[in-house]
Structure 1
Amino acid sequence: MKHEICVVNDFLTAAHREKVCAAAERHGYTVRFFETPEAAEGQLGQCEILYSHYPDLLRQAPELKWYCCSFAGVEPYMQPGIFPNEECLLTNSSGAYGVTIAEHMVMVTLMLMRRIMEYQASMARREWIQELPIRSILGSRITVLGTGDIGSNYARRVKAMGAAKVVGVNRSGGSGEPAYDAVYPSARLEEVLPQTEVLAMAMPSTAQTAGILSRERIALLPQNALVLNVGRGSAIDQEALIEALNAGRIAGAALDVMTPEPLPADHPLWSARNVLLTPHISGDMTLGWTCDKNVDLFCEDIENYCTGRPLIHAVDRTLGY
């Protein structure tokens, strides 16, 4: 068997390719690049390492030993039988998206707090309105549900902007991130919600996160609460959220993820009160830093793989991240 790495990603620059080749060639691997899954069709028979984000390619790589997903979310790879070799290692690219998604989260937090959507609507009507009351991150109580790379990048930014209290909530209740004033296990989420003015959700899709923001938990949020979600739409009872928004029981929401995607044109979420929707673009791969970091993470684990060390970005398939 050849020592072969195949890369099926369309965001790599010439510099990225050179970096991957340098990392691979130090250990006797050759690299083949494909920009589309169609171009890779029938070409992966001797591939040992695959760097991509197309799950359908796995069935074409019977010799695969390590699959590096260039996305952070890996729920398509949790299905039984998706890997031709069940011993195949799986890593993701968590760590590449924290900066860009956290900036998106700060942006939409401020847009909701400073009533930008309402001001833009009034300007579109050519009305000069100046007196809408606004809010600030300064002094706010913020809860981050999901304290990984994305959530913690957001926590650091809002803490630096003067948030009064930043609370993290995750599966275990632990975190080494100093931006959090406290971290609680998800079993205690209901204690935290009534004191939450901004609920920022940045969780992977797992059996434990599905529906975590239920109708009952939405009802625990104060009337001035804002809900942000950049994780997966399945984490929220969307119908209950729409009802709470339209009834004014919460102040607003910014959703980069929803159910289903794409959102049908006649879906009631489009017309919900004070909701800011974006089409799953917070982690857009056109940001150069994100792409650079993505490649850096892969090359770092090439070194680990080839020297027999544990892969830093390995996914625990029992947890889904």
Structure 2
Amino acid sequence: MKILVVMDVSTKHKQWLEQAAGTNDIVYCAGDGSNAGTDLEEAEVIIGNIDPALIQKAQNLQWLQLNSAGANEYCAPGVLPAGITLTNATGAYGLALSEHMLAQTLAMMKKLYLYYENQKQCCWHDEGPVTSLYGATVVVVGFGNIGKNFGRRAKAMGAHVIGLRRRHGAVPPEADEMGDMEHFDDYLAQADIVASCLPDTPETQHLYNKERFAAMKQGAYFINVGRGSNVVQDDLRAAVTSGHLAGAALDVTDPEPLPADDPLWQTPGIYITPHISGGYHLQATHDYIVRIAADNLARYLKGECLENIVDLMTGYKA
């Protein structure tokens, strides 16, 4: 059996994958699979985010393991042939993204962005009162692995954490309350901080619009590490510019890269990072991704049920 790996891996990572592969043939071709040649055609297993347009060439493919948590582009009709199992890297990104979210939150609440701008101007100026996570209500929209990791950290700092998912469920240790999207606006009205960790699906497209920002509490902060398509960006700009929202931190935009002439760049109170909270920026994330793939490979070769199977109808982990 041929296993094609189309993601960056270190020597250590190769050892993990080869131990799981046993005597099976494993081939490494970093990138999007465009240089894989006949290995792509022969592969029964592909590990990594191959270019979706190339999947039809993988005539022997039975299982695709992504190195991302997001799977939307692979769930579109016609991308995956019938019978192919799709799994993702849910569980790998929680540490990196939640720490990034916490850093963004505290930087806004403590006005560190303002003081950094003052420093560049050699301006010794007191920017006035700040706010705290202690006692704040944090609504985490999308309470999967990433949301739970952020909820755990916010709760540890004294925040009241409300997790929102599609369906109401039991309250996990990372939250004080759980809610569902049916009462979305009611929860937004309670939040001092709204932290969004949603994927790109038809249901989440432009979820945050003028009405949703208006439903948020005066002076609330908005954080988005999910997908830029979740947000109507002109409406977010208006909510921040008017002072209704105290600030917004975005690691994702629509489109990406964000064009240099987009007014979002120059909007006071909006802070942008170029979709870098995840990826391989934190070594632990890269290690988690490969561990998930290697563990699933071992399961696949034993005929066991795989972890992180994606529901092609929703784009979420099933």
Relative to the length of structure 1, the TM-score reads 0.95
* Whole-Å separation in 2 of the counterparts to 1:279 and 1:53: 20
* Whole-Å separation in 2 of the counterparts to 1:286 and 1:120: 23
Name 1:75's counterpart in structure 2. 72
Name 2:17's counterpart in structure 1. 20
Name 2:106's counterpart in structure 1. 110
Could you tell which deviates more after superposition, 62-71 or 208-217?
208-217
Alignment CA distance shift 1:17-1:62 (3 Å):
same
The question of whether the paired residues in 1 share the 8 Å contact of 2:204 and 2:230 is answered with yes
* Whole-Å separation in 2 of the counterparts to 1:143 and 1:273: 24
The answer as to 2:135 corresponding to 1:139 is yes
SS state of the match for residue 63, structure 1? Answer: coil
Could you tell which deviates more after superposition, 143-152 or 176-185?
176-185
Could you tell which deviates more after superposition, 60-69 or 48-57?
48-57
* Whole-Å separation in 1 of the counterparts to 2:304 and 2:83: 16
* Whole-Å separation in 1 of the counterparts to 2:134 and 2:258: 33
The answer as to 2:151 corresponding to 1:155 is yes
Name 1:121's counterpart in structure 2. 117
SS state of the match for residue 44, structure 1? Answer: helix
Name 2:218's counterpart in structure 1. 223
Count of aligned positions: 314
Q: 1:49 aligns with which of 39, 42, 45?
A: 45
SS state of the match for residue 313, structure 2? Answer: coil
Q: 1:65 aligns with which of 62, 65, 68?
A: 62
* Whole-Å separation in 2 of the counterparts to 1:59 and 1:193: 43
Report deviation, 1:305.
1.5
SS state of the match for residue 314, structure 1? Answer: coil
Alignment CA distance shift 1:196-1:223 (3 Å):
same
Alignment CA distance shift 1:141-1:176 (3 Å):
closer
Report deviation, 1:133.
1.6
Name 1:39's counterpart in structure 2. 35
1:243-258 equivalent positions in 2, closer than 5 A:
243-258=238-253
* Whole-Å separation in 1 of the counterparts to 2:185 and 2:56: 43
* Whole-Å separation in 2 of the counterparts to 1:138 and 1:312: 36
Report deviation, 1:175.
4.8
Report deviation, 1:118.
0.7
Name 1:297's counterpart in structure 2. 292
The question of whether the paired residues in 2 share the 8 Å contact of 1:171 and 1:186 is answered with yes
The answer as to 2:172 corresponding to 1:177 is yes
* Whole-Å separation in 1 of the counterparts to 2:169 and 2:62: 32
The question of whether the paired residues in 2 share the 8 Å contact of 1:145 and 1:200 is answered with yes
Cα deviation 1:94-134 (Å, max 9, x = unaligned): 11000000000000000000111110111111111134221
Cα deviation 1:244-298 (Å, max 9, x = unaligned): 1111111000000111111111111112220110000000303211111111111
SS state of the match for residue 43, structure 1? Answer: helix
* Whole-Å separation in 1 of the counterparts to 2:127 and 2:293: 50
Report deviation, 1:43.
2.5
Name 1:276's counterpart in structure 2. 271
Structure 2 spans left out of the alignment, 5+ residues: none
The question of whether the paired residues in 1 share the 8 Å contact of 2:219 and 2:243 is answered with no
Name 1:201's counterpart in structure 2. 196
Q: 2:206 aligns with which of 211, 220, 239?
A: 211
The question of whether the paired residues in 1 share the 8 Å contact of 2:90 and 2:145 is answered with yes
RMSD: 1.3
The question of whether the paired residues in 2 share the 8 Å contact of 1:147 and 1:175 is answered with no
* Whole-Å separation in 2 of the counterparts to 1:96 and 1:135: 31
Report deviation, 1:166.
0.4
Alignment CA distance shift 1:89-1:176 (3 Å):
farther
* Whole-Å separation in 1 of the counterparts to 2:275 and 2:298: 32
Cα deviation 1:186-241 (Å, max 9, x = unaligned): 01111111110000000111111112222111101112100000000111121111
Name 2:4's counterpart in structure 1. 6
The question of whether the paired residues in 2 share the 8 Å contact of 1:142 and 1:197 is answered with yes
Amino acid in the other structure paired with 2:175: Y
